[in-house]
Amino acid sequence: MTVDLPPAPAQLDTPARPRRIPPAVLLIAPSIVFMALLLGWPVIQGVLQAFRSDDGFTLEFVTRMVQDPYFWPAVRNTLLLIAVMIPLQFAFAITMALLLRSNPRLDKVHFFVWAIPLALSDLAAGLVWLSIFNDRGYLNSVLASLGIDTIPWLAYDNPTTLFLCVLVAEVWRSTSLVLVIVVSGLQGIPKDYDEAAQVFGAGFWQRLRHVTLPLLKPSLQVALILRTILAFQTFAVAQALTGQNFPLVVGETYRWYTGLQNPNVAAALALVILVASMLISIFYLRALRDKGQEGTR
Amino acid sequence: MTTTRIVDTPPARPAVDEAPLKRQRRNRALLQAACILISLFMLVPIYLISLAALSTRESLNEFPLSLLPTNLSFETLRAFLGSTGIIGAFGNSLIVGLGTLLISALIGVPAGYALARFAFPAKEPYQLFLLFTRALPIVVLSVPLARLFLTVDLYDTTYAVILLHTALALPTTILISASVFLSVPIDVEEAARVFGCTPAGAFLKVVLPMALPGLAAASIFTFVMSWNEVLGASILTLDHRTLPAQVLTSLSDSPLAYRFAGGFALVIPSIIFIAFMRRYLTNMWGSTIR
């Protein structure tokens, strides 16, 4: 009985706690209101816009979207771009991060240079590579002065080179985001693990596969989610490089909205992106949880 | 036993296997070469767009193009800057960027502080909500917002773009400023309280000055995001376009020289931004991993 007494003074202290909640709520309330108004509300409106006409629910806009000759090529291009670009740029970014980790000379300069595209818009990247890939651009100039036949990289009847050009420009621009996330993840891993594995005779690939990559997993997952969602939104690169010749889903939204003046179909297209992004995020988060992610955080 | 070992080693010494050392040296050299190659891959396109933007129109029409700066002139750039709407678009970009920075800091920094310092009931859902909003594509917001802004007479104003960009930047601002505040030890704040500061005073006089560099980096980050955003800005405006939106909408009917000059005008600020932010790059992105 007397043992139950000590909790009593502690309970006297607790009334101070409920009072601590109001400042936190006051501090976060504006952000919640703002985001509800400018993020939540438009999403609901977007769904309504895509499925509602003057006389109630309709699938008219979705049908028009699907029947548009550019729709399926746009979907295919977007998926193809993501499927090729993401693995490529992750391999590239991990290589770059490991190179930086080995303390090369001028590593600060290299990191700065590799991070520059982080602040570049995809429109800028498209224009930069346009100067290289256009018919009379720098790449063809080099080819011509070497005596090799020039190639019409951006010709509409050359889908392979079109894809390659967009791919190179996007990898060039967006790998730095992955790089910075991976570098900061590597900074959080003590070198001891790697050295211990080395002492026990593990080769470079073994250490990468069994020590570094598993420890990097949280960073890689964040990078993967961010990059995939951003990759769905790729658009201005293709617009700057190819005009309409390499349709992407977001580019189609832009075309329906500005060119064809049809916000409803544009909203339906936007929903395609939204659903795809959601599914990808959920998929990654699932995959993340299955592998016992709780331990690292 | 021991003596035999000692006797054994001296003859081995001259025959020291130098292969690992050589291999290590060769590996170092290869590493350096790989770094330089990647840097070239990053820099050469920037060099080429600068070259294209700084060449005369005539020299751009030559083929093959010269890869060396033989014919530098500001004619193309001047023509680009002189074309209609570009100077105004620069101004609009600045206004939108600064406005976004300001509003998202005003709303986001307090929320970040709350996230870092207080335990509140809905903290976990709130953080999940933030993560979720980062996944919202810009297109999904832009099209319905355009209609909303039309009804409230905000369409085609810089305010509309500021609001959109703030909504996009806010989750990141909150998460980054939360991690900045986490890095300020709570002890100094408590010390200030002990010596008689009010909570607000402790925040303003002690915590804020210590958090300021990190918050400044986060603001530049917000500004860059707004400066680069193309799609939303071009959907929400007609006459008050930001620079990327202006360049995008005039793409199809403009000569190559104009596009190169536009690309150059978009590239140069980003180099400056990264130069300012480079110390914070990994901290900021590392901190968003939560």
Predicted pLDDT at A249 = 84
Could you tell me which residue, B278 or A271, shows the higher pLDDT?
Answer: A271
* Yes or no, beta carbons of B144 and A273 under 8 Å apart: no
CATH 3.40.50.300 fits domain A60-287: no
pLDDT tens-place values along chain A, 297 residues long: 444 444 444 444 444 455 555 677 788 888 888 888 888 888 888 888 778 777 777 777 777 777 888 888 888 888 898 999 999 999 999 999 888 888 888 888 888 888 888 888 888 888 889 888 888 788 888 888 888 877 787 777 788 888 888 899 999 988 988 888 888 888 888 888 888 888 888 888 888 888 888 888 878 887 888 888 888 888 888 888 887 788 888 888 888 887 787 888 888 888 888 888 888 888 887 776 655 444 443
B94 touches chain A (CB under 8 A): no
Most confident of A132-141, B13-22, B94-103, B234-243: B94-103
Closest CA to A277 of B130, B141, B143, B135: B135
**Separation CA A95–CA B34 (nearest Å):** 10
**Could you tell me where the beta strands, DSSP code E, fall in B51-205?**
none
Q: Give residue A238's Cα distance to chain centre.
A: 16
| Structure ipTM | 0.80
Q: Mutate which of B35, B102, B264 to disrupt the A interface (most A C-beta within 10 Å)?
A: B35
**For residue A102, which residues of chain B lie inside 8 Å, CB to CB?**
31
* Yes or no, beta carbons of B118 and A225 under 8 Å apart: no
Q: Give residue A56's Cα distance to chain centre.
A: 36
- pLDDT tens for B122-147 read 777 887 778 777 767 788 888 888 88
Across-strand partners of A56? Answer: A53
- Domain coordinates in residue numbering, chain A: 60-287
Which of A115, A141, A278 minimises the CB distance to B274? A115
**For residue A123, which residues of chain B lie inside 8 Å, CB to CB?**
228, 230, 244, 247-248, 266
**Separation CA B193–CA B173 (nearest Å):** 27
Predicted pLDDT at A295 = 40
**For residue B249, which residues of chain A lie inside 8 Å, CB to CB?**
258
Closest CA to A246 of A257, A236, A260, A256: A236
Question: Three-state secondary structure along B130-154?
Answer: HHHHHCCCHHHHHHHHHHHHHHCCC
DSSP symbol at A231: H
Predicted pLDDT at A90 = 92
Chain B residue with the nearest C-alpha to that of A229: B135
Rounded to an integer, the average pLDDT of B171-175 is 85
Closest CA to B159 of B74, B92, B82: B92
pTM of the prediction?
0.81
The phi, psi pair for A52, rounded to 5°, reads -130, 130
Predicted pLDDT at A89 = 92
Residue A15 has a CB neighbour count (10 Å cut-off) of: 8
Which of A117, A134, A273 minimises the CB distance to B140? A273
Angle at B161 between CA B114 and CA A118, to 5 degrees: 70
Label residues B55-90 b or e (16+ Cβ within 10 Å = b). beeebbeeebbeeeeeeeeebbbeebeeeebbeebb
- pLDDT tens for B75-91 read 777 877 777 778 888 88
Predicted pLDDT at A270 = 85
- Which residues are within 8 A (CB) of B190 and not within 5 positions of it... i.e. 6 or more apart? none
Calculate the alpha carbon distances from A45 to A16, A41, A201, B101, B159 in Å: 43, 6, 60, 26, 20
